[in-house]
Amino acid sequence: MEIAEISLGDIQKCMNWKSITFDWNQARAFLVTAEEGSLSAAARALGLTQPTLSRQVAALEETLGVTLFERVSKSLVLTEAGIELAEHVRAMGDAASRISLAASGQSQQIEGLVTISATDLMAANVLPDILRNLRRKAPAIELKVLCTNSLSDLRRREADIAVRHVEPDHPDLYARKLREAPARIYAARSYLEKIGRKPTRKDAADLDFVGYDNNEELVKYLRVFGLDVSEANINLGSPSGIVAWQYVCEGFGLSIMADEIAAHYPEIVPAFEDVEPITFPIWLVTHRELHTSRRIRMVFDHLAEGLLAVRPPVVG
């Protein structure tokens, strides 16, 4: 049977409806408790009393026949079964949000300001296509992109949603790891032409590098690639990622860049013959208002979907 010929009836035949025995409200209570870290915080987020929420979580555990939380001191910690279930229920919650929006036509009605924090290079190269689709879907939402290479304080509402490369460690924040992204050391073709060839790892100490905000940190990353370099190799830099990257494009030196960003610059190529790429995480982070604000939920889900869909190019 061709995929195009599959009908609703075929899907219904494949579904084992009798196996779906739990209540969505109980699953939602479990998920929000897992994300908030306590029954009291989850109850506030859902507008329920703590005893009601506790009963819903207990009922889900009884229905599934597993223990989902362990109480450690005054906190709730997910068991292995709880961690596994949370991923599935989170996907259900995302789908439920999209269904609610689609069924009521609310995507056109949701309005208000949402501030997104991202590095300037990601904001300029990766986000435009994602935000263009969001503008078509929800034209009444006002978007502001805060370009910063430091970590915005979401708890103080410097931004509503942040794209980060490190996992936040504050319990008031909700974070979702989207994927690992490849990065490597790049150089302008003009720089390589100047030195006459593509260098190898052993040439690193004699090469020029362009820095960003923190040269000491950049040296640590370069050493992860196996390069024997020091801060003396960094002869030019800028706290602005876009400015520093432009210096790389102009042939001033080498630097690290994500493949999906470097692909936008045809004058840039991988610098080394014998240095493998590394990967870094992409996290999407927001504050707990995700559970109560439709506009933040919508933008968060759209960003997650868009960033997950980015496929880094094949780099030769």
Tens-place pLDDT, residues 162-181: 999 888 877 778 889 999 99
Q: Evaluate the CA torsion angle 22, 23, 24, 26 in order and state its sign.
A: negative
> In CATH terms, is domain 18-104 a member of 1.10.287.1080?
no
The residues with which 187 forms a beta bridge, in sequence order, are 269
**Any idea which residue has 């370069």 for tokens?**
222
The residues with which 143 forms a beta bridge, in sequence order, are 114
- Report d(CA 299, CA 145) in Å as an integer: 12
How many residues in total does the chain contain?
316
- Report d(CA 258, CA 122) in Å as an integer: 9
187: DSSP letter: E
Query: 180-280 has which fold?
Result: D-Maltodextrin-Binding Protein; domain 2 (3.40.190)
Q: Buried (b) or exposed (e) across 108-121, using 16+ Cβ within 10 A? A: eebeeebbbbbbbb
Confidence band for 31, pLDDT divided at 50, 70 and 90: confident
- Report d(CA 71, CA 98) in Å as an integer: 33
Q: Is the pLDDT of residue 242 over 90?
A: yes
The residues with which 209 forms a beta bridge, in sequence order, are 234, 254
Per-residue pLDDT, averaged over 77-93, amounts to: 85
* Mean pLDDT of the chain, nearest integer: 84
Q: Which residues contact 182 (CB under 8 A, 6 or more apart)?
A: 258, 259, 277, 278, 279, 312, 315
Q: Residue 129: its pLDDT value, please?
A: 93
Q: Residue 100: its pLDDT value, please?
A: 59
Where do the structural domains in the chain lie, given as residue ranges? 18-104, 112-179+281-309, 180-280
Q: Residue 6: its pLDDT value, please?
A: 38
Radius of gyration of the chain (CA): 24
Q: Indicate the range of 9-13, 64-68, 142-146, 264-268 predicted with least confidence.
A: 9-13
- Contact, 258 vs 310, CB < 8 A? no
- Report d(CA 42, CA 53) in Å as an integer: 8
Q: Residue 63: its pLDDT value, please?
A: 86
pLDDT digit string, tens, across residues 270-287 = 999 899 999 999 999 988
Q: Is the pLDDT of residue 237 over 70?
A: yes
Q: CATH assignment of 112-179+281-309, given 3.40.50.10490, 2.40.50.180, 3.40.190.10, 3.40.1280.10? A: 3.40.190.10
- Contact, 22 vs 53, CB < 8 A? no
| Amino acid sitting at position 118 | A
Percent of the chain with pLDDT over 70: 84
| Amino acid sitting at position 171 | P
Same fold, 18-104 and 180-280: no
Q: Beta strands of 81-122 (E only): which ranges?
A: 112-118
93 compared with 113, residue with greater pLDDT: 113
Confidence band for 289, pLDDT divided at 50, 70 and 90: low
Q: Is the pLDDT of residue 95 over 50?
A: yes
Q: Is the pLDDT of residue 313 over 90?
A: no
